[in-house]
Amino acid sequence: LIPDDASVISSTFFIPNLSQRDEIYELEKTEQSAEYYVLDLRDESTSYSVEDYQNEDFEEVCINQYIAIYKRVE
């Protein structure tokens, strides 16, 4: 669902699966921006929520009970 050449910010759990990318950042620890955002929905987090990405700046790519993927709208 995420192009290989896209920059990504992800929850820690999914970083190993995305590690082949040139630009990947840990969601909980970065101030960077990226093309795609991957959220782990299995546990509640105080550092982010799905509501943070449900606005005109992001397009929903995928969401289920485990993961949410958003693309930044340019």
**Predicted TM-score (pTM) of this structure:** 0.92
Q: Of 46, 20, 36, nearest to 68 (Cα)?
A: 36
| pLDDT tens per residue, range 18-65 | 999 999 999 989 999 999 999 999 987 788 889 999 999 999 999 999
Q: What is the pLDDT of residue 14?
A: 94
Cα distances (angstroms) measured from residue 6 to each of 11, 13, 20, 24, 47: 16, 19, 11, 9, 23
The pLDDT assigned to 11 comes to: 94
